[in-house]
Every structure is written in C-alpha cells, then in structure tokens.
C-alpha cells in the first residue's frame, strides 16, 4: 500500500482550524470542579467536647476533604455566648486563617454552639470571615428545656426562649450579611423544644430523618448534607 506524505507547512492551516473548532474536553465522569478547600471549624454543644465531631470528620476526610483543613474549637459551655465566647471564637478563627493562609472559614455548629457562632457572624467580624455557616439541632429560637438548667448555667440561660442572646440574634434579620446559612433539624430531637426552633428565615432549612439530638453528629445522611453544603459555592 502506498502512503502519501503531506508536507508539514502545508498541513498547518488545516490542523489549526481543527484545533480551534474542537469542543473543550469534557470533565471526567463523576468529578465536579471544586474551589480550593476552605478551612472548616466545628463547634460542639453544651457539656461536650471536640471529640463529638470524630465521626463526621472521618466521613469528610474519606470523601476527599484534607484533614489539615478541619478544626474543632473547644470552649467552656457555661460561659456567656456573646460577652465571653464570641470574642474567643474570633481569636480562634483568626488563628486558623493565619495557619492556613485562607481568606475565609466555614463553620459547622451543634446545639448551643449555634448561638455563639451566630453572634460572631452577626456582631463580630464573622460576616467577612465566614463563608458557610451550618447549624445542627441549634436552639436558634430557644428551647424550653433550657429552663431546667438556666438557674445555674449561663449557657442554658442563653438558650432559653426570649433570652438576650436569642432575641438579639433574631431581630432585624435572622441570616444577615453575605454568609450562606444551612440548618438541619429533626422532629425527633428531644432537646430542642419546639423542634422547629432550629430553622432560620433566609437559610436552607433541611429536615433530617427521625434522629435524637446527639444522633445528628454521627448520622451518615446528616454528614452527607453537611458535605453538600460545604462543597457548594
């Protein structure tokens, strides 16, 4: 069989036309382009510690999120959410930003942690430094059960319906600033009364399966919802 060679220079115009006309290469199936990972700060609830996030952190790292971008803040849950804890959280966020070189963080809070982190976002510097805020079973409009421990615990007083913290967080708009808000709540939550207290006007409010208060920390479907929220723009 005879093959005819095509001179290189004479073939260049046709090659350039073919390249320019070709559509861009498609992304590999099942992969979505992602922006650089923002650090995530996990904030526990009353009488708890950073260890409550171990299960969720394992799921996030297994899904590909770098472990060195996941942080858990520890604090004294009996202290005032606004006067004491919000300034401490500000210091911690600034530390994480310096350590990672990031411009913003995402926050995932459980229960009481939702109030301190919301205060930082609304009245501190969080509106500029927090991109995503996610609340699991947060007493965002208070919980009746907090009256049981309110006489001897400031954290509980902050969680009571109509408290100074709850009232100021919700007046003038429940989801202020450019921060993107997500809440997850369960009708079977035995600690948040009413259970709808977690949902916020202006947030993406997601009802989970029938889960108890602390079960939201370890449930795989909740972890998937958290990952979806964090991975979105």
Strand order in the sheet with 105-110: 70-73, 40-43, 105-110, 130-136, 180-185, 204-207
Give the CA radius of gyration of the chain.
24
pLDDT per residue as tens, the chain (233 positions): 223 333 333 333 343 343 333 333 333 343 343 445 899 999 999 999 999 999 999 999 999 999 999 999 999 999 999 999 999 999 999 999 999 999 999 999 999 999 999 999 999 999 999 999 999 999 999 999 999 999 999 999 999 999 999 999 999 999 999 999 999 999 999 999 999 999 999 999 999 999 999 999 999 999 999 999 999 87
What is the Cα–Cα distance from 31 to 39, expressed in whole angstroms?
Answer: 21
Helices marked H in the chain = 8-21, 54-62, 86-100, 113-123, 126-129, 154-159, 164-170, 220-231
What is the Cα–Cα distance from 117 to 85, expressed in whole angstroms?
Answer: 9
Please provide the DSSP assignment of 62-118 as one string: HTT--GGGEEEE---TTS-IIIIIHHHHHHHHHHHHHHH--S-EEEEEETTHHHHHH
- pLDDT (0 to 100) of residue 25: 38
Go through 95-123 and write b for each residue having 16 or more CB atoms within 10 A of its CB, e for each that does not. ebbeebebeebbbbbbbbbbbbbbbbbbe
Q: How far is CA 206 from CA 45, 118, 182, in A?
A: 19, 18, 8
Beta carbons of 166 and 142 less than 8 angstroms apart: yes
């Amino acid at each position: 069989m005879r093959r005819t060679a095509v001179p290189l220079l004479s073939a260049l115009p046709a090659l350039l036309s073919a390249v320019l006309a070709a559509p861009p290469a498609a992304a590999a199936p099942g992969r979505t382009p992602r922006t650089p990972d923002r650090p995530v700060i996990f904030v526990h609830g009353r009488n708890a510690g950073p260890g409550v996030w171990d299960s969720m952190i394992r799921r996030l790292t297994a899904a590909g999120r770098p472990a060195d971008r996941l942080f858990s803040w520890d604090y004294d849950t009996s202290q005032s959410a606004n006067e004491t804890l919000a300034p401490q959280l500000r210091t911690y966020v600034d530390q994480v930003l310096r350590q990672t070189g990031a411009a913003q963080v995402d926050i995932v809070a459980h229960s009481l942690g939702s109030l301190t982190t919301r205060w930082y976002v609304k009245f501190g510097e969080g509106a500029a430094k927090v991109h995503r805020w996610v609340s699991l079973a947060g007493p965002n409009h208070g919980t009746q059960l907090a009256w049981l421990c309110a006489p001897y615990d400031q954290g509980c007083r902050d969680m009571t319906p109509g408290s100074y913290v709850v009232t100021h967080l919700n007046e003038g708009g429940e989801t202020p600033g450019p921060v993107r808000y997500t809440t997850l709540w369960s009708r079977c939550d035995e600690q948040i009364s009413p259970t709808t207290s977690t949902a916020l006007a202006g947030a993406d409010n997601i009802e989970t399966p029938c889960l108890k208060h602390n079960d939201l920390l370890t449930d795989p479907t909740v972890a998937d919802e958290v990952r979806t929220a964090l991975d979105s723009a």
